[in-house]
Structure formats: structure tokens, C-alpha cells
Structure 1
């Protein structure tokens, strides 16, 4: 027996007598056990007893954090187990610790850090095991600092925790054994040199083979004690491990690759799972004891959250599935909680500023609305009322306007911009791409021209008479304009001679100054970062902000990620809009799709064909689209006029192509995903999307929205060559669902918030653990954030100082947390 169980038994009995107060031994039971358990484990010879020893977590039970009831239960279980330690059979001791050991005394000190963990904001090369040569490989994965490595969590775990004897092994499931190596040799299997070993325990022998790996034989020394984990197959009636994970049974160190829940980390070229896992285990053991918690104590207790250090440790190398889930819950809560505090702070800062109250009941505004060539829907009228209520106050508006493709958001924006002009102020209308900015300019000027006299058309400026007591001047400002033309427009904007400026990022360049910016409308906000929004706000005296998106965002998600905005939803389509017939086609149906496009063109209609999403590079997308265009125009549709559109073209080229397509001079438009939002061609009735399984549901729905904008029945076809199970599920859903909000919910569930929303581009903190589709945790985090924000909005109280520092670190400097 390795340790005095009698003395330990007396300590536990005394602890019971003292009412489980953790004062039976100096410094508490956790401190005592960190030394006692190590010694006790060396005397355990029976693998089953060793497994039970670790299930009781005797090396680190976390007794100080237990409730009184849990302490009572744990001590009862330990007292029942102690007699087994007193009756161990003779033989070589089994000394593996399947669970983690927290003691840093056994961990070799890093020469880089003199035995102390490196500072969290220090460079990754300070971590023991990461050299100047290997650091760039970590940089490729976005790991630049020590903190990045600490939060580089596995994407899954293999369950190798089920310790069995050889006689108990079953085919199929992941299992672990502790055995002696009797023999190892190199054999030829399938024409390749492989390693074969014979191993045994007190219940029998078995084989293990490592295919195409003859070098393993060097590591498997006769009589070595090893742990093997993996899937078992049955060959000739006997169990065989095929290429299992393995490691020598350590004396006083934790198992890393076997005998536990084993982490599997994302990799890049030049990094290998076993070496990274070993590095991470050493790093986590050294680093986590020094991590301080930034959440206030009462927040931890109220939400029953793990301490931060324990959560990080369990997220990497969990003792049980339950602890892994509890750890991930804590880390996800942190992300959502800090996200909420950030957006609440942004809203507070914005609302503390003084804005300009606009008059919203001017006769000119009512006259303009009454002369529109169509009647507003009830939903449009309601959203307009929300906006009018906001801009009539001297607090700047910050509102999100959501609406399905074709729901009429643009006219609501135009009326709002007209209201600013009627008050003698300027309006800015920003779109994410030049194509969309030009399209907005056309649709806005076309609308004004339908009810007012056009007096001048000068260099991107349209002037309209009869709408206000002064000429209404609308201008287009994009980066691709001639320098001389841009200089003229900049001067006009600065002097207040432009009422409504429409453009892209060009509108927020430093050299552009508005005389009196009253309202800024931003289309498809999720494509703009916080930095751009802040720059636009700086152009005027705290202008009112209206953000529009055609991406249906579930309300819970909108309130979380846009927590600084008020929300309006256009939840009905204008009369006459038809549902779009949608089909998911197999590769063998490609010719049928082409024939259907021919029929539509023969009927006088037009078609879109969307090229596959190759990768983020616009250059490669353009090249792929060009190749597709050449095939379609010369081989598939030689009898029709086929045009090509991609993001690498200059504005003039895009303008010419869209003009010809809109005028019906082209039959088919082959395009990269640049047509995802906004482009309006009423005569286009058919959409074909290539490699549709590569796109998310929301993006597919946006593509579908490019057709069906006229009065004719429209169609959308999705081609997918060999979709994954996830891809098949996506395509089945969109084939049967037209409701954008339902599709958005499904998209969130299938892809997660990062891909759905693109947090890296949004100016929001990254979400590693949180799933915004987890409504329960999301609402819990919002509730806690609101509670804290109401009691200490500046986080000035001493108990909130660590949290305030963490928020400043997590939220980018470009955000409004300052």
C-alpha cells in the first residue's frame, strides 16, 4: 500500500463530525489530497480499483467548491472505497492517473519562463515547446499570443476513458486497456511494412497492429507497461486493436493520448495531433493555476458557473463528459455576457448624445407619400411610424430595419431621407458594393422622377423641382469615379448643395465632409464594421442612423448582436409577389435545367446562373466565373446572348453589363455571388445556382430573391454534385421553405453564428464557444448583463474592475466601449 489509509480515514471521520466545514485538516482537504493521492496511487495494482480511484477524483476533488450535501455524498463514497486500497494484490503497481493532476511541482519548469507561466499577452514563442521555427505554424491558425493558445479549444474529444480488461473488449466501440508488451515486430501487411505487437494482462492476450508504420516497433519494448485506446475489431475470434492511440504508462504524470477524454485539435501543415496534444497538456497544467477570474463572485454563484481556470482546463482535458459540457457552458456564457455588456454600453453612449429633432408632419412629406405610384403596406407604414417617432426626438435614432427580399425597405429609407431633406438637412445612403450603390441611385432617382420635374442631370447629380421649397439634389459618390468629378461632389456635399448622397465606403472617407448630416441609412449592415459606422456618425452632429438588412435575422439573435439598436420588421410582402418555385437538382438533371432555361428565354424571359463559391479571393472567383461563362456561351447556349459579371470588373464594365441585362439586351447573366443582394431585374424569372451545397441557407435565399421581382412566375434551381449530409439537409430545407426567418433559424442551427453572421467582419468579439442558437444561455447572459449594467453601468465598483478590464480587452478598440 502506497499511503496511510488509516490516517486519511480518521481525517474524513473528523470532517463529518465538524459538519463538513473543510477544517478537519490544515489548509483544507483539497490541499491535503494533492499530496496524499499521488502516494496512494502508487500502491494500486488492480486496474478496476485504479479506475474507481480516479472516478472519485481523489487527486483534486474540488471539495472546497462543493455544497454541504455533495461533500457528505463524496465522503461516504470515499469511506466505502478505502477498504479496497488496504487489500491490493501483489504485483507491479498501476500508477496511471486517468484524470488530471493539478500539482505544478511535478511539471518541468519552462526555461523560457523560469518556472512561471508566460504573460497571457506575451508572444506565442514564449510557450515551452514552441520555437521560433514552429511559431509561424501557430500564427497561420490565428494563434499569436499565449492567451490565444489558452483559448485554442479542441473541436471534439475522443472518449478513451472506458478502461477494460482484455477479456472484456467488444468490437466496435472506443475502449482502453492497460497491458504488458510481450512482443513487437515488423510484418508485411497488404504489401506494406507495419508493426505488430502481442500484449497481455491478467485476463488474456491480444494483438495490436499499426499499418504502414514500421517505426512503432522501436517504441514498444518487451515488458513495457502501456495504455492503448481505440476501436477494437475481432479477427479469427480474437480482439485486435488497429492503429490505436498508445502511450507508455507514466509513473507520476497524467495520461494524454489514452485512458481519458482525448482532445482533437484543429491542425495546419507541419503540426501533428500527438505533439500538439502533449504541448497543450503541459501548457494548460502550467498556465491555469495562475488564471484569475474576471466574473463577479455573485454572478458565478447565481448562475452556478465553474471558475474560469477550471473551465479552461476541463474544456481542453475534461475528466468527464459532464464536466466538459459544464466547462463549455461557462466559456460560452462569458462570450455572450461580454458581448451583451458591450452593446449595452454602445447604446448608452449613443443615447447620451444630443441629436437633432426633425419635424415629421410637414405638408411636403405627406404630399410626397400621397404621390407615390403605389400604396404602402401596413408593415411599411408601421415601420415608418417607428422611424418618425425616433427622429422627432433630440436623441439620435439607432434603428435596424429588417425585411424580406422585395418587402419594400428601400421606399421606407427614401421617405426617411426625404424627411431629413424637408428639414433642411442632408441624408447619406450607403450600400456594401458599387453595383448596389448605383442601383439604389437609379431606383431613388427613378422614383423622384415619377412624381417630380427633373431639372438637371449633371455628373452624377440629379435635381428635382416641385417636391420641396428648394430643388432636391441627389448625388452618387463611388470610388471608381474620375478624380475631378469626385472633387466637385465633395465640395457640393461640404457646402450643403447635395441633399441625398448615395454611395459606398467612399462616403466615409476622411476628406468628405457634410455640412449638416441629419440621417444616415446603411444597407446590409452586416457587411460593414463598427469602424465604418463610427466614421459615418462623425460626419454630422450625431446623425440619426437607420440600418437595413434583407438577411432575415431571428429576433433573439438580432437583440443580441444588434443590442444597441431598436428593431423594426417589415413582415409582409407587397401585393402580387408570388412564391418562387424551387428545385434541388442532381448532376444528371443538368441538361433538364439548361432546357428549362431555354424555354424561359424563348418565352421572352431572362436567367441568372451563379458560379460556384471557390474561395474568398475575388481574383480566383473571377477566373472560375470566366471559365464557366466561356463554356456556357460557346457550348451550352451559343444561340443566346450571355453576359459575365464578377467583382474584379470596374464600375463602368459592371454598369454596362447591368444596363444591357436590365434593358433585355442580354438573355443570361453568368455571375459570381456578387448578385446576392439588391440587384433588381423584373424580367429575370429563372435562377440556376451551381454547387449550391457550398452556400448557406440565408445566402441561397438571397440568390432566390433576385428573381420573382416582376409579375411572371419565377423559378430557382439548385445544382449540387456530391453534397455532404449537411449540404443535403440545407438543400432539402430551402426546397420546401420560402419563409426567410425560418430559413435563418435553420441556418443558425446548421452553420453556427460565426459563418451566419460573420463576426470577424462585424466589429463584434469572436465567438468560439457560444452558439447563438442556444436561446436559453443567450437569455441568461442578457439577463445578467442587464442586471449588472443597471447597477453599475460604468463598472466602477471594485468587484467589477477585473470584468471591466476584460471587456476593454475583448471589444476591439474600434468599438464604442470607451
Structure 2
């Protein structure tokens, strides 16, 4: 059967209905999907060792003859062994296969095979457990560089490689959509060569050429698409013009001085909002750099021009805190601030919605409830969104539908991201960086503490409380963790998360057995809004001395008297998230501390925690986090409406990214509409790539 790019995966040898469903979980439905399902890694199986020369403890290929017929034995129900001895001119190797009964008939005495596995020493003899094998005259997956794929339950790497080998011939018919002049300038291989050698490289050089071609291509089309997004926005004159006002007028509302970085970002925003097109700006700043006051300035400017503003926060606790602090700051200027969250009572929600529609509320702070169907604005002109919410293209479209024109959008990033990465992840936004902390901030001291030092740590809690301070104890609750975070923790052998009931139980245990003379309370994201508000209010007043919480306090919660944060099972968190949690202390004038408790024995996990203890630079921490976890885990499953990378490694491909961006810029300067015959395939590829991004080419 001839295989083409559109051939359904069910027509391939070895794929029945059950396997097709498993492959669908990986996004694989037809031959073309397999061609672009790139390996995550490679194993060099080219060197084939004699049995005595094979290094112990490494995965290697050995050539040997089956010296006997395989012996099958059933140890107990569910456990079956197949064993045999293989030999060559240097010695013998003992093979054991668990629950692989087919091996008894697959291996024949007297025949030569290649075995791939880890050589172990068992007393005086050498052994291999569950090796991969094939006839010596075959060598389809030994004696070569072998691709390693991301898999799902029931799909082996051997099966994936064999399926891709079946569809590889249709790579010959793939059109090369990159303009020839760009291929020549960048020294890029052909599409056919790249696809063949990314899956089954002839050698290291061929693999490098294939990866360079496919990575450049991906980054190039991405850059072209982002240029269309920005160009469309910059040509959009439907935005509301917000007339500038003297910055000192806003400064008079503040009980503190602005940093130069805050002033610079405020001026950038004011220029954007006065330009007559919708602002789309990302403001990045480290923990405690003062992002909220920058958002307050944008809202004040909007309201002073007679329009409405909205701020969307990722959690109700943070929305409630923002509403309190922004109301306190802006009410003296006559700005009416209100709160709208999903857990508010029906009557209160109705009152807020009515006031929004009539214009009686100037500035509303809330959660995702702000873009629900029942919310209408009289004149929404500014939307501020927290980066964790990843207020993307779809949400912006939902908000735009609530007004006569697209609102200005300000995205606040709580997670520092290296600037070149931000240009990709937030490529449709302009970027401002608050790279300066307010004066007088004392760096938080951070310690990594083993589980067996817990009693000393409890003593430190008592000492802090005796000095009049307050303490957070953070627990990783399974219900509040993303799939990416749980997967990362499982891979690294991290401590198990607590369920929400266990968080409460732990707080009660601390109150009754450890801190009977202190007031201990608990907080988690599934509590009712009024309960959370009451708990946080008591902690803010100082009535509660120790607050046991999930990561619901991760972003923005501000209690200046809190001087110690203890993170239980700290190995379960990414570095950037730990940095955010650490930012909950050090907000007052007292020396503050962060204690990371861990029971992990994983050296990589310990190294990550020590990185956090060694620096308070959020951008440096973000870079380390990115290296440790990779872009997929770092950015998580944020649905920002931009396409996902299949092969580019944003942490390692900066040079290619710069080349791709420059090539995209040059192409669009020469042919802005991509109407030249050679450039039309580029336009079509970008359309396909950005299919999920609404109206990019309209």
C-alpha cells in the first residue's frame, strides 16, 4: 500500500483500533503527524562490543550467539521468566526476560543476534535483563543512532520507530516551503533530508544538519506569524486614546517614592495608551518590584479619561487583596473600585454587574468571572491581567466583544522570563521590564533543610513569633497542582503531595502538638471566598501567628509582618514557583527567612534547591528553572493562542532564533503581504501554524 501524508494511522501495519486510540493521545492520527513527531533524544547504538569488552553499567550493543534454547519458567501468577546463555569468542552473557514469553520462540540456539541493554555483574558472571534484540543480519534498530520518542502507556519506542519507518517514504513528496534564497543564505538542508535524518540519522553531522533545518524553519514561521500579529495590531486604529496626565499628579496619591524603573514603565504605557491603537504590553518584574502600582497608574489614567478599567487575578485571595489595596490607593482620587468573583453571593454579583453596566463602577477587580456572559461594561478601555492567568488571544477576543472597541491590555508577569524567551512566548506583546527594587529591601535568607532537622526548624518558628513576627508554612496540595508539576515531581522522585484534608489535619496537629501556645490557622484554594477572606484578614491583623497554606498565597499576597516562610516538600515545586513563594516574606523592615524542607535523595532536586538558596535574582532563577525543566514544563499548559514548539529548544536555540527573526523581518520588508509566487507557500504554512489564533490574517 502506498502511504501518503493523509494516510490514516489505522492503515499502518501494527495499528489496530486500541493502538490508534493510544496514539491519538499523542496527537497522532495520520502519516503526516508521525513525520513531525520528532525524537526527544537519541541513543548511539553504532558500536557493537564483544561480551568481555562491554562496559558494565552502560546501555550497549553486544553481538553473541544463543548457546541454548531459551528456558521459560512461571515463578508465580503474573510473573514469568525466560532465561538463556549467549556466547562469543570472549565469554558468556546470561539473559533474563520478565513477562516476555514470546522470547522462547524468537531466539534460536546456534543463531547470531545483536542484544542492546545494560550489562550487569552478578557475582562472577555478566548479565543483561530485558534486552532488545534482533538478528545480526537485520540491524534495523541496532548498529545505528536510534531515535527515542515521547511515549504513552501501551506504545513502545520500538513500535513508534517502526511506524515512522513505514511513513518515511512519503517525506520524498513533501514540498519545500522555505524560499530558496533563505535556504541558501542560512545553509539549510532540504526538507526531505531533514525529515529522514531527524528520525534515522546517518551520523552526527546529518543529525545536526537535520535539526538545524527543522528548528530554523519552526522559529522562522513562528516569527513571521508574530510579525503579522504585531503588524495587524499596530495598524489597528480602533483603540481608545487615553490622554496623558502629569505623573506627579498620580505620585501625590502614593505614600512612597516611585523607582526610576517604575517611572520608565509608566511613561511607556502612557505613550501606548495615547497612540490611538489598542495597547498590548507585558510588564515583567521580579518579586517585590512594584508591578501593582504600575497597574494602578494605568487604571487611574483610564478612569481620569472617563472610561472603565478591569483587573483579572488568578485566585480569589489575590483578587480580594488587590481590591482592598487599589481601593485604598485610588478612592481618594474619586475612583470607584469594586470586587467581582465567582463565589460571591448572587445578590452582590448582580449589584456589581448592574453598576458596571451603568458606569457607576470605574475599576473592577476579579477572577475569570469578569469575562463571563453576564458581565457588561458601559465603557471598558483597559484590561489588566495577571500572567499566571495567561490572558491570551481568546480571552482578549471575549473582552473585546463586551465593548465598542478593543480595550488596552496590560499583562503583569509574576515570573521573570529571559527577555529573548519572552519575545517568543509573548511575541504578540510589547515588553517592559521593572528591573529595580524599591529602596530598603533586605534580601531574604534561604536555607535548604533536611527532614531530620524539623524540630530545630519548629524552634526557629517559636523564636520568630516571640519577636513579634508571623510565619507561613506552605504545603503542596495535589488538587492545586498542575499535571506538569505533578509529572516533574514524579520524575524526580519527589515527596508525595498532600490532599486538602491533610493540609487541615497538619494545621490541627501543629496547633495541638507543636505550637499549643500559638494561634495556627489554615488556608487552601477550595475554601469558600468568605472563609478565605476571614483567614487572610486575621493573619493580616496579626491575630494568627502561623498560617498553614497551599500555594494559594503564591502570588501577590502582602503581609509585611510575616518574616518566615517554610515550604514543605520543597522538591515538589519548580524554582520559579519557590521564588514566588519566597516573595511573600521580606516585605517589611525585618530580616526575613525562607526554609525549604525536603526528604528527597535525588541529586538534581537538591541542586535546584541550592540554586534558589544561592541567589535572589528572579531572572537568573528563571534561566536555571528553564534549563532544569525545559520549556514545556517551565511554561506549562498556557493556552495563549500561539502555536506550540515541536523541535525548537527555547533555552538552547537562541542563535537560531535570532537568525530566524532577522530572516522573517527581511522577508516581510521585501514582501509585506507575502504575495510573490515564491513567498505564497510561506503564507500558507503560517496560516496553518496559527490556525488557532483568531483573525490573524483578516
> TM-score surpassing 0.5?
yes
**Secondary structure of 2:311's match?**
strand
Deviation readout 1:790-811 (Å, 9 max, x if unpaired): 2333333332333323222222
- 1:360-382 CA deviation, whole Å, 9 max, x = no partner? 136xx643422421111111111
The residue aligned with 1:734 is 612
Answering whether residue 152 of structure 2 is matched by residue 274 of structure 1, we say no
CA distance in 1, matches of 2:123, 2:84: 16
CA distance in 1, matches of 2:338, 2:660: 44
2:225 matched to 1:342?
Answer: yes
Structure 2 distance, partners of 1:621, 1:291, is 50
How much does 1:730 deviate?
1.0
CA contact (8 A) 2:477 2:499 kept: yes
Larger Rg: 1
Aligned partner of 2:326 in structure 1 is 444
Residue deviations 1:212-265 (CA, integer Å, cap 9, x gap): 467523222234343333445678999766653211245xxx633322122333
* 1:705, distance to aligned residue in structure 2 (A): 0.1
Structure 2 SS opposite 1:246: strand
Are residues 498 and 127 of structure 1, via their aligned partners in 2, closer, same or farther at CA, if it must alter by over 3 Å?
A: farther
> How far is 1:402 from its partner?
1.3
SS of structure 2 residue aligned to 1:601: helix
Seen in structure 2, the aligned counterparts of structure 1 residues 373 and 565 have a Cα distance that, compared at 3 Å, is: same
Given that 1:401 and 1:549 are in contact with CA atoms closer than 8 Å, whether structure 2 keeps it comes out as yes
The equivalent residue for 1:137 is 22
Decide which of 336, 351, 375 is 1:512's aligned counterpart. 375
Structure 1 pair 656/145, CA: closer, same or farther in 2 (3 Å)? farther
Using the TM superposition, give the Cα deviation of residue 292 of structure 1 relative to its aligned residue in structure 2, in angstroms: 2.8
Aligned residue in 2 for 1:152: 37
Kindly indicate whether residue 313 of structure 2 is the aligned counterpart of residue 431 of structure 1: yes
How far off its partner does 1:641 sit?
2.0
Residue 710 of structure 1: how far off its partner (Å): 1.2
**Cα deviation digits, residues 691-741 of structure 1 (max 9, x gap):** 111211111100000011111111100011114222122111110101111
Higher relative contact order (CA 8 A, sep 6+): 2
For the pair 1:306 / 2:189, whether they are aligned, the reply is yes
Q: Tell me the secondary structure at the aligned position of residue 657 of structure 1.
A: helix
Kept in 1: contact 2:384–2:410 (CA 8 A): yes
- SS of 2:15's equivalent in the other structure is coil
Give yes or no for the alignment of 1:794 onto 2:673: yes
Specify whether residues 242 and 398 from structure 1 end up closer, same or farther in structure 2 by C-alpha distance, changes over 3 A only: closer
2:688 equivalent among 794, 809, 814: 809
Cα distance in 1 between the residues matched to 2:465 and 2:516:
13
Give the one of 234, 240, 244 matched to 1:356: 240
1:525 offset after TM fit, Å?
5.5
Map 1:6-21 → 2, pairs under 5 A: none
1:687 alignment partner, SS class: strand
Shift of 1:631: 3.2
Q: Distance in 2 between matches of 1:628 and 1:728?
A: 25
Residues 243 and 756 (structure 1), Cα distance of their counterparts in 2 relative to 1, 3 Å cut: closer
- Residues 511 and 518, structure 2, Cα contact 8 Å, conserved in 1: yes
Q: 2:494 maps to what in 1?
A: none
User: Could you say what secondary structure the match of 1:280 adopts?
Assistant: helix
Q: Is the 8 A contact 1:229 1:259 kept in 2?
A: no
Residue 436 of structure 2: which of 543, 550, 572 is its match? 572
Report the Cα distance in structure 1 between the residues aligned to 2:115 and 2:10, rounded to whole angstroms: 32
Q: Could you list the per-position Cα deviations for residues 495-525 of structure 1 after superposition, in whole angstroms to 9, with x for gaps in the alignment?
A: 3222212222222223323222222222225
Contact kept? 2:253, 2:329, Cα under 8 Å: no
**Where in structure 2 are there 5+ consecutive unaligned residues?**
487-496
1:380-779 to structure 2, matched below 5 A, reads: 380-449=262-331, 452=332, 467=333, 471-524=334-387, 527-540=390-403, 541-612=405-476, 614=478, 615-616=481-482, 621-758=499-636, 760-774=638-652, 775-779=654-658
Indicate if the aligned counterparts of 1:526 and 1:761 stay in contact, CA closer than 8 A.
no
- Contact (CA 8 Å) 1:226, 1:248: kept in 2 or not? yes
Compute the displacement of 1:549 (Å).
1.3
Asked if the contact 1:228–1:259 (Cα under 8 Å) also holds between the matched residues in 2, the reply is no
Compared CA separation, residues 163 and 443, structure 1 to 2 (3 A): same
| Distance across 1 between alignment mates of 2:629 and 2:58 | 28
SS in 2 for 1:359: coil
- The secondary structure found in structure 1 opposite 2:83 is strand
Corresponding residue for residue 221 of structure 1:
108
Match of 1:294 among 152, 177, 180: 177
- The 8 Å contact of residues 286 and 415 in structure 2, kept in 1 or not, is answered as yes
CA shift for structure 1 position 189: 13
Aligned residues: 676
Q: Is the 8 A contact 1:697 1:743 kept in 2?
A: yes
Q: Do the aligned partners of 2:86 and 2:92 also contact (CA within 8 Å) in 1?
A: yes
Distance 1:798 1:650 in 2: 60
**Cα pair distance change 1:165/1:551, threshold 3 Å:** closer
Instruction: Give secondary structure in 2 for the equivalent of 1:133.
Output: helix
- In the superposition, relative to structure 1, how do residues 220 and 514 fare at CA in structure 2: closer, same or farther (>3 Å)? same
- CA drift at 1:595: 1.4
What do residues 352-401 of structure 1 show as CA deviations (whole Å, max 9, x unaligned)? 11123222136xx6434224211111111111111122222222222211
TM-score normalised to structure 1 length? 0.77
Aligned equivalents of 1:807 and 1:486: distance in 2?
A: 43
CA–CA distance in structure 2, aligned partners of residues 662 and 676 of structure 1: 16
Quick check: 1:177–1:228 contact (8 Å CA) kept in 2? yes
> Aligned partners of 1:422, 1:526: CA distance in 2, in Å?
27
Change (3 A) 1:143 1:215: closer
Equivalence map 1:248-263=2 (5 Å): 248-249=135-136, 255-263=139-147
User: Structure 2 CA distance, aligned partners of 1:797 and 1:380?
Assistant: 45
Unaligned 5+ segments in structure 1 are 1-108, 110-114, 453-466
Cα RMSD of the aligned pairs, angstroms, is: 3.0
The aligned counterpart of 1:781 is 660
Q: Do the aligned residues in 2 keep the contact of 1:359 with 1:423 (CA within 8 Å)? A: yes
Cα deviations by residue, 1:92-146 (Å, 9 ceiling, x for unpaired)? xxxxxxxxxxxxxxxxx3xxxxx223517x5x43444221122222234444554
Partner residue of 1:326?
209
SS in structure 2 of the partner of residue 472 of structure 1:
coil
CA shift in 2, pair 1:638/1:269, >3 Å: farther
Structure 2 Cα separation of the partners of residues 703 and 596 of structure 1: 19
- 1:195 aligned residue: 83
Q: Note the C-alpha offset of 1:429.
A: 1.6
Whether contact under 8 Å (1:170, 1:232) holds in the other structure is yes
Q: Alpha-carbon deviations, 1:547-581, whole Å to 9, x = none?
A: 21121111111222222222221111112211001
- CA 1:183–1:136: 2 relative to 1, 3 Å: same
CA contact (8 A) 1:401 1:546 kept: yes
Alpha-carbon contact 2:625-2:634 (below 8 Å) kept: yes
Alignment partners' CA distance in 2, 1:168 and 1:716: 51
- Alpha-carbon distance in 2 for matches of 1:220, 1:518: 73
